[in-house]
């Protein structure tokens, strides 16, 4: 590395940044909001927000405005912040560079409270966004315009209009995502198909796009002008393209490395790849060192690094894609929780025409603004190719071994994989030829893949997810699980954005049964989403059955759910008191209801059962109350853990039930600031007097119980571990 002093210097700075960030020491890039302001925002407050627009994103319901140098005024107090976002649902004539004043309710980006859930707080903190506002009124206070960013915005909006006119809704959404970085109209099924088949990278503005567009333009210009002019114009074009697409991390990395290569060529020198890569990383991290933990940063720079390593090792073209897939496999598993085996083949098919799609899309979008017919002609083959991409993905999903849900690998597994991969690359470097060499490398590579995707046998876990005001519990053993309820009245699309991400994170491939305790929306609406996702193929877990109380066999309350289950041939079991089910080495004993009709009082008819396994007994109660609670008190309900009924309502979990059950642990699922006042003080007091240690998703987030030799480990998503 003596010949690369700049590379060494950059790497040292990056390492120092990482160490300072993870150490917990106060650093300038981790600014904390004043505590009094945080408390006011959490409780819900309105204020005035001032700032200068640096980005405008329009959508079907209004627009999102991005402000820099923000000032928030709350109760006559003024707070200087970094960036902020404003959601506004009314039409407004506004330009980039304008200064605005907005009135509305202020909120903080939400932190993830479950495994697999999107962490908006971490995402926006990396991008310097402190607060969000749902504005009722927006006023322009200064009409100064930043002409170049505004030109890029108008061009982006006009090109998006041309895509909408010339392409179908689905292909237009793909094109806007692929070329303009606008994912607001991307079809959910397309997003899932591309991700499942290992080609989601073409939807991001990445090194592939920059290389194809930048190098394509440079080679075209170099034929009619000198190297210096062609380099200057192509570099300028890519800078404007960054403005057009929103400065994604992967695009910044690719553009900066392109500039370094063109600069080296103009100077008559060669571009040193490690130096260019480390210098690009340093430039990105200077904006915010927290990017070191961002998935887009790690994927982009990881891919560029491994491409350089494989070229350095002179890996043959016929095996290059396979080696690159092995190098990126841990990144894929960590961020997507699913491994695509057909991605290698599919990338070979889709990458050659990608340059044509980008060039024709760009040309068609720009040309269509002045000559609509010519724009449609240029975009017609783009639509055909994009439809072909989608068809290929749809065909690949029917392959039995096309992809595998693996969940998020544990850190020790990633470490072993990294060591094994290093050994494989060493073999590639040391031994080049020979049948046995090729065979040994193939066997070694296969063992590496197995190392990453296989999971060791684990103990049974019970997890109560944080779904706001609702219920969802997951009983998991290995890659199989039983899902108990799933719904929310305070979290939008809880099934899609909270339950399914958790199933993916945990690598749950089989849902042995979905148990619906009763048909209230806060226990059921997320399950409807899950079944619909299963119907369209978006759910990677296989559903083997649904269990509901016996009295619901003719109920209209869950008709939609039942119809979806019938369409997918998912068997439905109508459970009643005395029924027993097995799940691995565990047993589920149904205690309630009997065969009576509870149509008029669904809560009292909640399916109540006792889960028994080695070292744990847990009582599941749904929203049980009144007559139903009286009936189960006649049974043997002694348990270690109690799922508290009806979110801690005052009309459930009576003293009699607690005396009979005597739980040492009690779990409550309730939403922060819910309008019902759950959990009620009377119920909490009764639980404490009964000697139960109480855990609430409102405070702890996701709560996971795991059987250990020392006892029951209660792990809170907030970070605490409790042995009981």
Confidence class of residue 466 from pLDDT cuts 50, 70 and 90? very high
> What secondary structure letter does DSSP report for 72?
E
Q: How far apart are the first and last CA of the chain?
A: 53
Six-digit token pair at 644? 């508290």
Q: Which helix (H) or strand (E) holds 589?
A: strand 586-592
* Contacts for 348 with CB less than 8 Å, ≥ 6 apart: 321
Mean pLDDT of 412-416: 90
**CB contact set of 600 (below 8 Å; sequence gap of 6+):** none
Top CATH class of 35-145 equals mainly beta
pLDDT computed for residue 657 by the predictor: 92
Mean pLDDT on 2-19:
77
Which residues of the chain does CATH 2.40.50 include? 35-145
pLDDT tens string 675-689: 888 899 999 999 999
pLDDT of residue 558: 87
Give the pLDDT mean for 295-306: 89
Which tokens go with 266? 């103009």
CA atoms within 13 A on the CB side of 702: 21
pLDDT at residue 145 above 90?
Answer: yes
The whole-number pLDDT of residue 29 equals 64
Q: Is the pLDDT of residue 2 over 60?
A: no
Confidence class for position 518, pLDDT limits 50, 70, 90 = very high
CB distance 582 to 611 below 8 Å: no
Over residues 574-593, the pLDDT tens digits come to 999 999 998 888 899 999 99
Region 203-219 average pLDDT: 82
pLDDT over threshold 70, residue 206? yes
The pLDDT value recorded for residue 436 is: 63
Give pLDDT, residue 435. 63
To the nearest 10 degrees (0 to 180), the angle between helices 147-166 and 227-245 is: 80
The per-residue b/e assignment along 492-519, b for 16 or more CB within 10 angstroms, e otherwise, is eebbbbbbbbbbbebbbbebbbbbbbbb
Average the pLDDT over 307-329 and give the result: 85
Confidence of residue 186 (pLDDT cuts 50, 70, 90): confident
Contact by Cβ (8 Å): 75, 36: no
pLDDT at 516 over 60: yes
CATH of 461-723, one of 3.40.50.300, 3.60.15.10, 3.40.50.1100, 1.10.3720.10: 3.60.15.10
- 4 pLDDT band (50/70/90 cuts)? confident
* Confidence at residue 432, expressed as pLDDT on a 0 to 100 scale: 63
**The pLDDT of residue 269:** 80
- The answer to which of 35-44, 265-274, 289-298, 341-350 has the lowest mean pLDDT is 35-44
**DSSP code, position 201:** G
User: Do the bridges between strand 665-668 and strand 693-696 make them parallel or antiparallel, or are there none, so unpaired?
Assistant: parallel
Angle at 346 between CA 418 and CA 436, to 5 degrees: 50
Type and span of the H or E element at 591: strand 586-592
367: confidence class by pLDDT, cuts 50, 70, 90 = very high
- DSSP 3-state of 412: helix
Parallel, antiparallel or unpaired: strands 403-405 and 338-340: antiparallel
The confidence score (pLDDT) of residue 3 equals 67
CA 252 to chain centre: 22
User: Which DSSP string corresponds to 212-266?
Assistant: IIIIHHHHHHHTTS-HHHHHHHHHHHHHHHHHHHT--HHHHHHHHHHHHHHHHHH
pLDDT at 1 over 60: no
Per-residue pLDDT tens over the stretch 497-511:
999 999 999 999 999
For every residue of 109-138, DSSP letters joined together read: PPPP-STT---HHHHHHHTTEEEEEEEEEE
Q: What is the enclosing helix (H) or strand (E) of 22?
A: helix 5-23
Residue pLDDT, tens place only, 563-577: 999 999 999 999 999
Lowest mean pLDDT among 62-76, 245-259, 350-364, 706-720: 706-720
Kindly give the pairing relationship between strand 77-80 and strand 62-74.
antiparallel
Residue among 147, 159, 149, 224 nearest 185 (CA): 159
Q: For the sheet containing 580-583, what is the strand order?
A: 580-583, 586-592, 608-613, 616-620, 641-643, 665-668, 693-696
Which of 563, 702, 703 has the alpha carbon at shortest distance from 114? 702
610 pLDDT more than 90: yes
Using the 8-state DSSP alphabet, how is residue 583 labeled? E
Peptide bond into 679 cis (omega under 30): yes
Question: Alpha carbon of 419 to those of 15, 299, 331, 334: distances in Å?
Answer: 20, 19, 15, 17
DSSP 3-state percent helix, strand, coil across the chain (nearest 5): 50, 20, 30
Residue 62 and residue 42 in contact, taking contact as beta carbons nearer than 8 Å: no
In the chain, CATH 3.60.15.10 sits at 461-723
Whether 494 shows a pLDDT value over 90: the answer reads yes
pLDDT, tens digit (0-9, with 9 covering 90-100), for 523-538: 999 999 999 998 888 8
Question: For residues 141 and 236, what is the distance between their CA atoms, to the nearest angstrom?
Answer: 32
Q: What is the DSSP string of 271-315?
A: PPHHHHHHHHHHHHHHH-GGGGG-HHHHHHHHHHHHHHHHHHTT-
Is 671 or 446 the better-scoring residue by pLDDT?
671
Taking the C-alpha atoms of residue 511 and residue 527, their distance in angstroms, rounded to an integer, is 12
The pLDDT-based confidence of 437 (bands split at 50, 70, 90) is: low
Q: In this model, does residue 107 exceed pLDDT 80? A: yes
Give the residue from 460, 529, 457 showing the smallest Cα distance to 498: 529
pLDDT value at residue 663 = 93
CA distance 608 to 548: 11
Q: Return the H-helix or E-strand segment holding 182.
A: none
| Percent of the chain predicted with pLDDT > 70 | 96
Q: Do residues 327 and 56 make contact, with C-beta atoms less than 8 angstroms apart?
A: no
Q: pLDDT for 161-176, tens place per residue?
A: 999 999 999 999 999 9
Q: Hey, what are 593's tokens? A: 């209801």
Q: Is the pLDDT of residue 670 over 70?
A: yes
pTM of the model: 0.92
Q: What is the mean pLDDT of residues 367-385?
A: 92
Q: Calculate the average pLDDT of the chain.
A: 87
Cα distances (Å, whole numbers) of residue 157 to 99, 146, 152, 180, 208: 21, 17, 9, 9, 23
- Rounded to whole angstroms, the Cα distance separating 376 from 367 reads 9
């Amino acid at each position: 590395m003596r010949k690369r002093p700049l590379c060494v210097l950059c790497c040292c700075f990056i390492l120092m940044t990482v160490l300072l960030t993870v150490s917990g020491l106060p650093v300038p890039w981790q600014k904390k909001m004043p505590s009094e302001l945080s408390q006011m925002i959490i409780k819900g407050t309105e204020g005035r927000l001032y700032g200068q627009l640096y980005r405008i994103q329009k959508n079907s319901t209004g627009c999102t405005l991005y402000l820099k140098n923000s000032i928030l005024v709350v109760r006559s107090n003024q707070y200087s912040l970094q960036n902020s976002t404003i959601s506004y649902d009314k039409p407004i004539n506004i330009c980039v560079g304008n200064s605005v004043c907005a009135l509305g309710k202020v909120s903080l980006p939400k932190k993830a409270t479950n495994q697999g859930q999107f962490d908006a707080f971490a995402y926006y903190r990396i991008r310097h966004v402190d607060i969000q506002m749902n504005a009722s009124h927006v006023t322009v206070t200064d009409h100064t315009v930043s002409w170049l960013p505004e030109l890029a915005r108008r061009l982006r909006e006009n090109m998006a209009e041309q895509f909408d006119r010339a392409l179908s809704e689905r292909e237009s959404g793909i094109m806007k995502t692929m070329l303009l970085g606008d994912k607001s109209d991307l079809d959910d099924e397309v997003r899932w198909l591309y991700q499942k088949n290992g080609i989601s990278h073409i939807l991001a503005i990445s090194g592939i796009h920059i290389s194809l567009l930048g190098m394509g333009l440079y080679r075209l210009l170099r034929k009619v002008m000198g190297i210096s002019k062609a380099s200057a114009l192509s570099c300028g074009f890519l800078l404007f393209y960054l403005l057009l697409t929103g400065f994604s991390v992967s695009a910044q990395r690719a553009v900066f490395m392109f500039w370094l290569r063109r600069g080296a060529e103009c100077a008559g020198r060669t571009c040193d790849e490690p130096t260019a890569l480390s210098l690009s990383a340093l430039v990105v991290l200077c904006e915010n060192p927290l990017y070191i933990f961002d998935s887009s940063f790690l994927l982009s720079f990881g891919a560029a690094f491994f491409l350089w390593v494989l070229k350095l090792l002179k890996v043959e073209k016929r095996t290059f894609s396979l080696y690159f897939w092995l190098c990126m496999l841990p990144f894929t598993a960590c961020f997507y929780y699913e491994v695509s085996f057909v991605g290698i083949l599919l990338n070979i098919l889709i990458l050659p025409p990608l340059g044509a799609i980008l060039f024709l899309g760009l040309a068609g979008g720009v040309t269509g603004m002045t000559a609509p017919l010519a724009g449609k002609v240029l975009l017609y083959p783009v639509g055909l190719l994009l439809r072909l991409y989608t068809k290929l993905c749809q065909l690949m999903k029917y392959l039995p071994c096309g992809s595998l849900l693996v969940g998020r690998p544990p850190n020790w597994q990633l470490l072993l994989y990294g060591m094994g991969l290093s050994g494989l690359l060493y073999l590639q470097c040391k031994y080049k030829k020979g049948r046995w060499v090729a065979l040994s490398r193939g066997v070694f590579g296969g063992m590496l893949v197995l190392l990453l995707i296989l999971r060791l046998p684990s103990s049974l876990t019970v997890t109560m997810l944080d779904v706001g005001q609702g219920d969802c519990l997951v009983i998991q053993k290995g890659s199989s699980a039983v899902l108990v309820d799933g719904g929310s009245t305070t979290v939008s699309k809880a099934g899609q954005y909270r339950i399914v991400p958790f199933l993916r994170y945990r690598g749950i491939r089989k849902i042995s049964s979905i148990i619906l305790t009763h048909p209230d929306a806060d226990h059921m609406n997320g399950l409807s989403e899950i079944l619909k996702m299963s119907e369209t193929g978006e759910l990677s877990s296989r559903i083997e059955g649904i269990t509901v109380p016996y009295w619901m066999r003719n109920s209209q309350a869950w008709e939609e759910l039942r119809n979806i289950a019938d369409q997918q041939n998912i068997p439905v079991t109508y459970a009643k008191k005395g029924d027993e089910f097995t799940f691995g080495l565990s047993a589920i004993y149904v205690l309630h209801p009997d065969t009576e009709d509870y149509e008029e009082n669904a809560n009292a008819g909640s399916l109540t059962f006792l889960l028994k396994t080695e070292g744990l007994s847990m009582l599941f109660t749904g929203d049980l109350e009144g007559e139903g609670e009286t009936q189960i008190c006649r049974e043997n309900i002694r348990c270690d853990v109690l799922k508290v009924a009806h979110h801690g309502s005052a009309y459930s979990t009576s003293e009699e039930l607690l005396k009979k059950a005597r739980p040492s642990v009690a779990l409550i699922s309730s939403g922060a600031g819910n309008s019902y006042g759950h959990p009620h003080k009377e119920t909490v007091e009764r639980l404490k007097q009964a000697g139960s240690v109480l855990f609430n998703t409102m405070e702890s987030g996701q709560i996971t119980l795991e059987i250990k030799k020392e006892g029951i480990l209660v792990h809170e998503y907030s970070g605490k571990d409790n042995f009981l």
